[in-house]
């Protein structure tokens, strides 16, 4: 790079950074992520170091923050409010430690005491107390002149208006951070969406926007909190304060909220260790941290080190990996979820977020896309935090060029081509055999209250669907022993058990069958209503919305769902197939009056879980009890029976085996 090129790049970067500072500090509405900003600033810093002839006292590398807003009264800071030097990896931090020692002419192996503290991601605020009373609260502004936000800060509940101590200092200048909890940030954004306003990109911007409101009543509505970390000046206090960790103690003593995560460590390695700990803890904290701050603890050493125009030499911020980036949405695809819900997914221009390349992000619901007005081609903020899948936070509307396109939910399922139906805030595939939906449908179909087919665990279902053995819930009735034994972890005994469960499930009730189909909004109870009203499948298939609505207990949502289900040809085919395989309905209670009203107790190990037999007995009007009494009708005995067997014999109760139970059930 020659001088001219360097000068051009430097000027270009300065111009960009000035603009981003304005968006961030003045408007609280950035259009690039912090890490992108940090990268530009780093590039500028390096260029300015290599080309000192282009020094500019107004460069973003030597200046703090942004100019105060005119809408607020200005406050001059007697002591400038500076920024912090940044470090991003262990080596940056070790280099800081070495520099400190070089500057102080201390031996290289000297271990310095550091106050290590969480770095809260909020808005820096300066508070002045005179004789224990809060007189002025101001923002940092450009470091020299800030905004008077006293009335707004007074609405924050944990800011003491009067210090709760007998002998407050005569004069006190303290600094802290105003924050929003993650939860409150979510609430505010949801409220803004409802009111058609743009959402904040992160809690920091939301906190800043909340403090810099003209109307303190608006600030009061946001549940802001304040955490103090710095005594800038103190006069006339009962004791001397000699170090940063002592200052944190003094703040607590004077009634200020401080962090319980602050710690005093010796040597830089312990500081690095502390950062690793907090990085893990970060997810579980109620508010956002963007790193830790490492401060030389001893005030005398701090004084010797002094400051540059932008930041003190005795402290460094050790930043956590970024959680946000901005990138472009190339396209929006639809993902069919396990419940058949279609989730729009943004296909992104790959972007590195905190060391991980992200190329897809969730857009949640159509409703959210519409409210946030997210379009294909938009530059968006993408967030990736912890284990949560990356999500699109908001579009940067100011960067639109008119080529962006609105997303339309497809009318057909991208997996199977069936009709997509709207269901409240969601869109779903109407086909119960959609591969994605299939697994969930099978789980439901075989469940106790549905077809009660025992032995179909998640692993088995996964295999059956993934290997293409079951393409439709009806295929369950085509399974044979050999096929089942060909699956992982299925031996001969289990295969036999599965087959017998499948066979036995064919005789069911109409209500259970309706429930087993997994029609949206049709639970056990509604299935019974439908069975009672329509008696058979032919009637139910033809049911009109009005007929359905006429049933007590069935509303609009259910009626629509039933009509929609039976108008889907694929669903009708599945039903025909099930009937073909021998599914039939019995009015079990009446037909099997042999066990109606009879009581049963189990003992020992049966071939299937007790719940399975319980279901069979109960659907035929029998009762399952836990303990043996004189009035008990049957004790069902499996392998290794317990003391119940003896008691049953003493009481003259009929003792039967599993096979005998089946014979009873079958009438
Ligand atoms: N996205 C954008 O367009 C954009 C623009 C400008 C700045 N920024 C971001 O803002 C940050 C720079 O802002 P900055 O100058 O306020 O510096 P900073 O946020 O990196 O660090 C200084 C600030 O840390 C805060 N802090 C929190 N806990 C603290 C503690 N325990 N002790 C001391 N201070 C503590 C104080 O408010 C202090 O002013 C960077 O992260 C940068 O990416 C982003
Ligand atoms: Zn589908």
**pLDDT tens-place string over residues 477-518:** 999 999 999 999 899 999 999 999 999 999 999 999 999 998
Is any atom of ligand 1 closer than 6 Å to the C-beta of 83?
Answer: yes
Q: Are residues 130 and 16 in the same domain?
A: no
Q: Compute, in angstroms, the gap from residue 83 CA to the centroid of ligand 1.
A: 7
Query: 3-class DSSP state for residue 381?
Result: strand
Same domain, 9 and 102: no
- Which atom number of ligand 1 is nearest to the Cα of residue 20? 3
Q: What is the pLDDT of residue 389?
A: 87
Query: Per-residue confidence at 338, pLDDT binned at 50, 70, 90?
Result: low
Q: Is 197 flagged in the annotation as binding?
A: no
Task: Output the residue whose Cα is nearest ligand 1's atom 9.
Answer: 34
Q: Does 174 sit in the ligand 1 pocket, CB within 6 Å?
A: no
User: Do 189 and 90 belong together in one domain?
Assistant: yes
- The residue among 383, 399, 415 that closes a domain is 399
Asked if residue 666 has pLDDT above 90, the reply is: no
Q: What is the predicted pLDDT for the residue at 157?
A: 94
Report yes or no: 175 and 229 within 8 Å, Cβ to Cβ. yes
Tell me the mean pLDDT in the region 36-46: 95
pLDDT band at 246 (very low <50, low <70, confident <90, very high): very high
CATH of the domain at 559: 1.10.150.20
Token digits for 421? 């139906």
Contacts 24+ apart (CB under 8 A), 195-199: 196/371, 198/29, 198/394, 198/397, 199/372, 199/393, 199/394
Residue nearest to atom 29 of ligand 1 (CA): 119
The whole-number pLDDT of residue 385 equals 83
Q: pLDDT digit string (tens) for 437-460?
A: 888 889 899 999 999 999 998 899
Q: What's the CATH number where 617 sits?
A: 3.40.50.10190
With bands split at pLDDT 50, 70 and 90, how would you rate the model's confidence at 593? Answer: low
Same domain, 163 and 310: yes
**What is the token pair recorded at 510?**
């109409």
Instruction: Answer yes or no: is 575 within a domain.
Output: yes
Residue 290 CA: nearest ligand 1 atom is 41
Specify which residues 23 forms β-bridges with: none
Q: How far apart are CA 469 and CA 488, in angstroms?
A: 14
290 and 439 belong to one structural domain? no
Strand-pair category, 145-147 with 133-139? unpaired
For 22-40, what is the mean pLDDT? Answer: 93
Mean pLDDT of 222-238: 96
Task: Give SS3 for 399.
Answer: helix
Listed residue (571, 431, 537, 389) closest to 440, CA to CA: 431
CA atoms within 13 A on the CB side of 38: 18
Q: Tell me if 475 is assigned to a ligand binding site.
A: no
Cross-strand bridge partners of residue 262: none
Residue 27's alpha-carbon distances to 16, 38, 213, 389, 556, in angstroms, are: 15, 19, 11, 29, 47
Expressed in angstroms and rounded, the spacing between residue 112 Cα and the centre of ligand 1 is 24
Within this chain, do residues 607 and 565 fall inside the same structural domain, yes or no? no
Is ligand 1 within 6 A of the CB of residue 84?
A: yes
Does 37 count as an annotated binding residue? yes
* Strand 420-423 to 391-395 pairing: unpaired
Closest C-alpha to ligand 1, atom 8 = 34
- Measured by CA distance, the residue closest to atom 26 of ligand 1 is 119
Coil, strand or helix: which one is 205? helix
Render pLDDT for 99-145 as a digit per residue (tens, 0 to 9): 999 999 999 999 999 999 999 999 999 999 999 999 999 999 999 99
Quote the CA–CA distance of 112 and 100 in Å, as a whole number. Answer: 9
pLDDT value at position 123? 96
- Give the containing element (helix H, strand E) for 325: strand 324-336
CA of 573 relative to ligand 1 center, distance in Å: 62
For residue range 183-213, what is the model confidence (pLDDT) as tens digits? 999 999 999 999 989 999 999 999 999 999 9
Q: What mean pLDDT comes out for the span 173-178? A: 98
What pLDDT sits at residue 181?
A: 94
Q: Is the dihedral of CA 644, 650, 654, 658 positive or negative?
A: positive
Q: Residue 421: inside a domain, yes or no?
A: no
For 2-34, letters b (16+ CB in 10 Å) and e give: eeeebeebbeebbebbeebbebbbbebbbbbbb
Q: Which residues pair with 150 in a beta bridge?
A: none
Tell me if 60 sits within 8 A of 289, measured CB to CB.
no
Kindly report the number of other CB atoms within 10 A of residue 214's CB atom: 12
Task: Report yes or no: 87 and 39 within 8 Å, Cβ to Cβ.
Answer: no
Report if residue 462 sits inside a domain.
yes
Both tokens assigned to 158:
């944990």
Nearest CA to ligand 1 atom 40: 34
76 vs 148: CA distance, rounded Å: 9
Tell me which residue of 626, 639, 607, 624 sits closest to 504, measured CA to CA: 607
Please tell me the number of the ligand nearest to residue 427's CA: 2
> What's the pTM?
0.71
The residues facing 179 across adjacent strands are 225
Q: How high is the pLDDT of residue 37?
A: 95
- Is ligand 1 within 6 A of the CB of residue 117? yes
Where does a domain end: 300, 319, 338? 319
Q: Is the pLDDT of residue 286 over 60?
A: yes
Query: How many whole angstroms separate alpha carbon 116 and alpha carbon 94?
Result: 14
| Predicted local confidence at residue 332, as pLDDT | 97
Helix (H, G, I), strand (E, B) or coil at 227: strand
CB atoms within 10 A of CB 364: 15
Is 80 exceeded by the pLDDT of residue 588? no
For residue 208 the two structure tokens come to 């800043």
Average pLDDT, the chain: 93
Euclidean distance between CA atoms 638 and 636, whole angstroms: 7
- The predicted structure's pLDDT at residue 436: 79
Using an 8 Å Cβ cutoff, are 171 and 234 in contact?
A: yes
> Of the ligands numbered here, which is closest to the C-alpha atom of 438?
2
Instruction: Quote the ligand 2 centre to 514 CA distance (angstroms).
Output: 21
Look at residue 416 in the predicted model and tell me its pLDDT.
Answer: 86
Rounded CA-CA distance 568/418 in Å is 8
Phi, psi of 105 (to 5 degrees): 55, 45
* Tokens standing for residue 404: 């962006």
- Tell whether 282 is covered by a domain: yes
Q: Please enumerate in sequence order all residues whose Cβ is within 8 A of that of 13, keeping only pairs 6 or more positions apart, or say none.
A: 40, 43, 44, 47
The span from the CA of 444 to the CA of 423, in Å, is 20
pLDDT of residue 591: 59
The verdict on residue 603 lying in a domain is: yes
Averaged over 591-597, what is the pLDDT?
74
Query: What are the catalytic residues?
Result: 119
Tokens representing 520 are 């949206």
Q: Is 229 in the pocket of ligand 1 (CB under 6 A)?
A: yes
Count of domains for the chain? 5
* Protein residue with its CA nearest to atom 14 in ligand 1: 83
| pLDDT tens-digit readout, 366-401 | 999 999 999 999 999 999 987 788 999 999 999 999
pLDDT in tens, 69-103: 888 999 999 999 999 999 999 999 999 999 999 99
Q: Say whether 186 counts as a known binding-site residue.
A: no
Answer whether residue 417 is part of any domain: no
Alpha carbons 207 and 262: distance in angstroms, whole number: 22
Q: Which domain holds residue 519?
A: 435-582
Tell whether 513 and 611 lie within a shared domain: no
Helix (H) or strand (E) holding 307: none
CA 195 vs CA 198, 371, 378, 456: distances in Å: 9, 9, 22, 48
Instruction: Tell me which residue has its CA closest to atom 12 in ligand 1.
Output: 83
Strands 426-429 and 507-508, bridge-based pairing: unpaired
**Would you say the CB of residue 204 lies under 6 angstroms from ligand 1?**
no
CATH number at residue 365: 2.40.50.140
Tell which one of 84, 117, 259 to mutate to probe ligand 1, the residue whose CB is within 8 A of the most ligand atoms.
84
Please determine, for residue 592, whether its predicted confidence score (pLDDT) is greater than 60: no
Using DSSP, state whether 626 is helix, strand or coil: coil
Identify whether residues 629 and 596 lie together within a single domain.
Answer: yes
Radius of gyration (C-alpha) of the chain in whole angstroms: 35
Q: CATH number of the domain that 221 lies in?
A: 3.30.470.30
457: Cβ–Cβ under 8 A, 6 or more apart, which residues?
none
233 and 379 housed in the same domain: no
**Same-domain pairing of 36 and 87:** no
CB of 293 closer than 6 angstroms to any ligand 1 atom? yes
**Start-end of H helices in 266-348:** 268-281, 299-305
Same domain? For 630 and 645 the reply is: yes
> Does residue 21's CB lie within 6 angstroms of at least one atom of ligand 1?
yes
SS3 591: helix
* Higher pLDDT among residues 616 and 31, named by residue: 31
Q: 4 CB contacts (<8 Å, ≥6 apart)?
A: none
**What residues are neighbours of ligand 2 (ion), with CB under 5 Å?**
413, 415-416, 418, 429, 431, 434
Q: Which tokens belong to 299?
A: 């005030």
Residue ending a domain, among 63, 85, 100, is 63
Instruction: Look at residue 84 in the predicted model and tell me its pLDDT.
Output: 96
Beta strand 507-508 with 123-130: parallel, antiparallel or unpaired?
unpaired
Residue 93 lies in a domain: yes
**667 pLDDT above the threshold of 70:** no
Say whether both 89 and 219 belong to one domain: yes
C-beta 319 within 6 A of ligand 1: no
Q: Token match 């399922």: residue? A: 413
Pocket test for ligand 1, best of 31, 293, 309, 393 (most atoms within 8 A of CB): 293
- Residue 623 falls within a domain, yes or no? yes
Model confidence at 363: pLDDT above 80: yes
């Amino acid at each position: 790079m020659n001088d001219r090129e360097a000068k051009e790049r430097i000027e270009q970067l300065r111009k960009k950074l000035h603009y981003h500072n304005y968006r961030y500090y003045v408007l609280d509405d950035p259009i690039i992520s912090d890490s992108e900003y940090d990268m530009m600033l780093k590039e500028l810093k390096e260029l300015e170091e290599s080309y000192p002839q282009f020094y500019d006292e107004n460069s973003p590398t030597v200046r703090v923050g942004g100019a105060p807003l005119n809408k607020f009264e200005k406050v001059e800071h007697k002591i400038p409010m500076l920024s912090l030097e940044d470090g991003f990896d262990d080596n940056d931090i070790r280099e800081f430690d070495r520099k400190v020692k070089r500057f102080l002419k201390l031996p290289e192996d000297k271990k310095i005491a550091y106050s290590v503290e969480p770095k809260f991601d909020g808005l820096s605020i300066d508070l002045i107390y005179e004789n224990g009373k809060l007189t002025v609260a101001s923002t940092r502004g450009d470091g020299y002149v800030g905004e008077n936000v006293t009335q707004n800060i007074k609405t924050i509940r944990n800011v003491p208006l009067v210090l709760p101590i007998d002998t407050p200092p005569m004069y006190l200048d303290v600094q802290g951070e105003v924050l929003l909890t993650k939860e409150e940030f979510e609430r505010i954004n949801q409220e803004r969406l409802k009111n058609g306003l743009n959402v904040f990109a992160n809690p920091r911007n939301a906190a800043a926007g909340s403090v810099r409101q003209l109307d303190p009543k608006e600030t009061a509505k946001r549940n802001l909190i304040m955490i103090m970390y710095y005594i800038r000046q103190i006069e006339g206090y009962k004791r001397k304060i000699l170090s940063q960790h002592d200052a944190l103690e003094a703040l607590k003593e004077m009634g200020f909220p401080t962090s319980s995560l602050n710690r005093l460590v010796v040597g830089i390695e312990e500081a690095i260790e502390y950062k690793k700990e907090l990085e893990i803890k970060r997810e579980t904290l109620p508010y956002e941290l963007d790193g830790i701050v490492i401060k030389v603890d001893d005030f005398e050493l701090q004084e010797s080190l002094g400051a540059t125009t932008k930041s003190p030499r005795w402290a460094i911020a050790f930043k956590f990996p970024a959680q946000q980036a901005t990138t472009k949405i190339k396209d929006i695809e639809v993902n069919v979820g396990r419940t058949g819900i279609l989730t729009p997914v943004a296909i992104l221009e790959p972007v590195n977020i905190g060391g991980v390349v992200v190329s897809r992000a969730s857009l949640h619901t159509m409703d959210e896309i519409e409210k946030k007005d997210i379009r294909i081609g938009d530059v968006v903020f993408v967030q990736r935090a912890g284990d949560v899948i990356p999500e699109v936070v908001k579009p940067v509307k100011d960067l639109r060029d008119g080529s962006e396109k609105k997303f339309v939910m497809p009318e057909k399922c991208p997996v199977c081509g069936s009709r997509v139906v709207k269901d409240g805030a969601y869109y779903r595939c109407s086909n119960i055999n959609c591969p994605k939906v299939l697994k969930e449908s099978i789980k439901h179909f075989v469940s106790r209250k549905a077809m009660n087919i025992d032995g179909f665990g998640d692993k088995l279902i996964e295999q059956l669907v993934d290997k293409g053995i079951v393409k439709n819930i009806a295929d369950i009735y085509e399974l044979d022993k050999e096929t089942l034994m060909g699956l992982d972890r299925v031996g001969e005994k289990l295969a036999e058990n599965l087959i017998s469960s499948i066979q036995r499930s064919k005789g069911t009730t109409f209500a259970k069958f309706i429930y087993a189909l997994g029609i949206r909004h049709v639970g056990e109870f509604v299935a019974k209503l439908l069975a009672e009203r329509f008696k058979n499948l032919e009637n139910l298939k033809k049911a009109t919305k009005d007929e359905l609505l006429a049933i007590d207990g069935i509303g609009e949502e259910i009626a629509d769902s039933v009509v929609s289900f039976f108008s889907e040809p694929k669903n009708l085919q599945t039903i025909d197939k099930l009937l073909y395989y021998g599914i039939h309905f019995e009015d079990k209670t009446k037909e099997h009056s042999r066990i109606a009203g009879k009581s049963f107790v189990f003992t020992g190990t049966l071939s299937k879980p007790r719940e399975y037999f319980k279901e069979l007995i109960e659907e035929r009007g029998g009762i399952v009890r836990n303990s043996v009494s004189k009035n008990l009708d049957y004790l069902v005995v499996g392998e290794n029976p317990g003391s119940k067997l003896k008691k049953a014999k003493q009481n003259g109760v009929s003792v039967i085996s599993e096979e005998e139970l089946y014979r009873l059930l079958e009438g």
